[in-house]
Chains A and B, each alone.
Chain A
Amino acid sequence: MDKIRRKILETGGAGLLAATVPTSMAFAQSAPVKIGMSMPQTGGLGAGGQAALIGLRMWVDDVNAKGGLLGRKVEFIVYDDQSNGANTPGIYTKLLDVDKVDILIAPYATNPTAPIMPLVKERGKLLMGNFSFQVNAKVQHDMWFNNAPWNDAKGWSEGFLEAGKNAGAKSIAIFAADAEFQQNLANGCREIVKNTDWNLVYDQNYPGNNTDFSSIIRSVRAARPEVVFVACYPNEAVAIMRSVNEIGLGSQVQIFGGGMVGLQFTPVMQSLGSLLNGVVNYNSYVPGMKFPGIEDFFKRYTERAIAAKVDPLGFYLPPFNYATGQMIEQAVNATKTFDNKRLADYLRRNEINTIVGPISFDKNGERSKPRMVQAQFRNIKDNDWEQFKNPGKQVVIWPAADKQGDVITPFDRARKAT
């Protein structure tokens, strides 16, 4: 086995790996099939990672309840990379060479994922992406499939800016955290703005985990923008909304928000409470979006989440991680094999039905039909997380397919609107 692998490595041809797999399966027939990953469970991405993990574990339990994959029990191996990309290459080689897993799932977010891409490509392994951003653009690994509902950076801000345009806006202010994801969000927005007649009256980055936004909000107000695009850490949302309340943005502002990471997480939404009203922000799922089986999923998820003391709503990551499992499941059942190469071929060619709707991929392994939504928060009360379960608290204003209502402008009016 090892010799063969080395030969492959010498020739670098992932294709040959196919040859090896049957031998490895011959003796592993009855043994469980191993699915392995590293998930940030501590550090900056920890909160999201823990929620996502519940989603995956739910799938593992479901599939094993159904008798596993091709009659083999699914064994799920997870390590913690502490949100630190420096740890993941080690962890994934361990998964491959020590634990000998059959299928790999990527850690949540880009930073921990990017360092493992070349490794996985070298080994010609299937890798199920997990809400990372364009990590495959450079590496071009043809066995990568990202579960995130976006493709390129434009996906996030398109709808937000469109809403601004409809409100007759001509100027925009952008401020974004100096961090990988937030910068990508902002860059997407900058991209689009470049090709419009809008003028960019304020565009700045601030250091991660900044805690006082008075000066920033003051400068933004002084710039008198009509649209304010914010790309922040979950952590900073509270401080930002406070400062907005204290300093004010001026009556000319039509819409505010766009890329605020964290407005998808229950603790943040809860602590913000009524401060959320009027904010328009991106999301991957909000109540009211119709997918087969999603309500049932969230009912079961919330129970487990509360028990595990993690995000009890889990709109953002968990359903998509469950979907990752469903993709693997459908591909395996259709191809009747764990041969990564053939699984990849299947995933590239076919559309898969999941609890977050049908998913299909482009040649980079990103979603061929991005499905981000922009939703506006309305009549939110303070400290009550259950309220967010109900439709109407976050009204989808874009895209047309999922639209639930029209955006309310200007921002000042939207904040008071019920």
Chain B
Amino acid sequence: MISLDLLFEAVLFGILLGCFYAAVSLGLSVAFGLLDVPYVAHPALLILGSYFTFLLSKTGIDPIICGLLLMPVFYVIGIALYRFYYETFERRSSDTGVRGLAFFFGIAFIIEVCLILVFGVDQRTVSATYIGSSLEIGEYRFPYRMLVAFGIAIFLTTLLTLYFSKTFNGRAIKAVGQDEGALRLMGANPVKIKQLAFGIATAVNALAGAMLIIVGPVEPAMDRIYIGRTFCVVVLAGLGSMSGTLVAGLILGIAESIVMMTLGASWAPAVSFGLLLLMLGIRPQGLFGR
């Protein structure tokens, strides 16, 4: 039925797709994986990033640049969001469980509906020289947009990995997840650190959003499917591991790509969610989790 080289092609494309999934999940991997904030609004902010990129790129700026330009804006949004979350829930420790979740779910929902009100339900696209054409290597053709995504993914992952291992704040962020007390001993204020981390997580989302709209058209309700993809990757990776996130992304990407070619695309949405359920059922601590 399905030829080997087609399968091989599926895997190749799956790798590109996988890096892309990893990149869109990095922010969540920090916010949820490291800080343990029930950040279900992450995919919504991802889409928001795409739409901002869409607006900016109308001025003729290249979408990637747009993404980079948006990062500081999103950094601030992230800080504000965490501040608010901290003041209203974490500090009062009024069960962050239900209210925190409901809060972020509500935020995600509001973002989505507002996008619909402003842009309508039609898909939006950006144009750039590297969109719509592809790199030919012998039999195979690789869309440049996917290669771009691949590049961004690798860039972001290495950047964050380095940041978390090399810098003081980076290590502090890694620590805050495990033990706030120890962090206080290190002479760092956990809330400040978390705030910083959350800012970074959201800033990363801006570039990821730009990448999302480069890879394909976006529409407001798209965050829903990405709840599955991002959380699947983060859980698969084991909370808070950046390199793990990349690997997990690859697993998801290849799995989806192969399913699309064999079972057919109509089963694609179930892949990420299915994988997620499976993980939660058999190994919630993730592949690389403690």
Contact = CB atoms under 8 A, between A and B. Distances in A.
Interface of A: 42-44, 46-47, 175, 178, 204-207, 209-212, 214-216, 218-219, 222, 234-236, 238-239, 242-243, 245-248, 267, 271, 275
12 contacts: A47-B122, A178-B266, A207-B268, A210-B268, A215-B13, A215-B260, A218-B9, A235-B123, A245-B133, A246-B134, A246-B143, A247-B141
Interface in B109-164: 116, 120-123, 125, 131-134, 141, 143, 146
A43 B112 CA distance: 12
Contact of A239 (B121, B216, B261): B216
A212 B141 contact: no
B284 interface: no
Contacts of A204: 264-266
Nearest to A176: B266
B146 A214 contact: yes
A234 B9 CA distance: 28
Given A211-B216, A267-B122, A42 B116 contact: yes
Contacts of B121: 42-44, 46-47, 235
Given A209-B219, A235-B121, 6 more contacts: A42-B116, A204-B264, A211-B218, A216-B260, A218-B13, A245-B133
A246 B9 CA distance: 15
For the complex of A and B, list the 4 residue pairs with the smallest distance between their C-beta atoms, beginning with the closest: A211-B216, A206-B265, A246-B134, A215-B260
A207 B265 contact: yes
Contacts of B9: 218
B80 interface: no
Contacts of B123: 209, 211, 235-236, 238-239
Interface in B26-85: none
Contacts of B3: 222
B210 interface: no
Contact of B257 (A47, A207, A215, A222): A215
A218 B6 contact: yes
A248 B269 CA distance: 25
Contact of A246 (B120, B133, B222, B264): B133
Contacts of A211: 123, 215-218, 222
Given A205-B266, A236-B123, A246-B143, A212 B261 contact: no
B4 to A, nearest CB: 11
A246 B122 contact: no
B215 A206 contact: no
Interface in B237-269: 257, 260-261, 264-266, 268-269
B146 to A, nearest CB: 7
B266 A206 contact: yes
Nearest to A248: B141
A205 B264 CA distance: 7
Contacts of B133: 245-246
Interface residues of B, number: 34
Nearest to B131: A242
Contacts of B219: 209, 235
A239 B126 CA distance: 11
A86 B121 CA distance: 19
Nearest to B215: A212
A209 B6 contact: no
A235 to B, nearest CB: 4
* Centre residue among B6, B9, B215, B266 by max chain A CB count within 10 A: B266
Contact of B141 (A47, A215, A242, A246): A246
Interface in B180-223: 215-219, 221-222
A90 B143 CA distance: 48
A211 B225 CA distance: 11
Given A211-B123, A242-B131, A216 B265 contact: yes
A294 B266 CA distance: 41
A216 to B, nearest CB: 6
B22 interface: no
B235 interface: no
Contact of A219 (B221, B261, B268): B261
Contacts of A216: 260, 265
Contacts of A214: 13, 143, 146
Contacts of A222: 3, 6
Contact of B221 (A47, A209, A245, A275): A209
A352 B273 CA distance: 53
B173 interface: no
Given A215-B260, A218-B6, A210 B265 contact: yes
B264 A234 contact: no
Given A42-B116, A235-B217, A246-B132, A205 B265 contact: yes
A289 to B, nearest CB: 27
B257 A239 contact: no
A214 B144 CA distance: 12
Given A238-B125, A247-B141, A206 B264 contact: yes
A212 B216 contact: yes
B261 A207 contact: no
Contacts of B132: 242, 245-246, 275
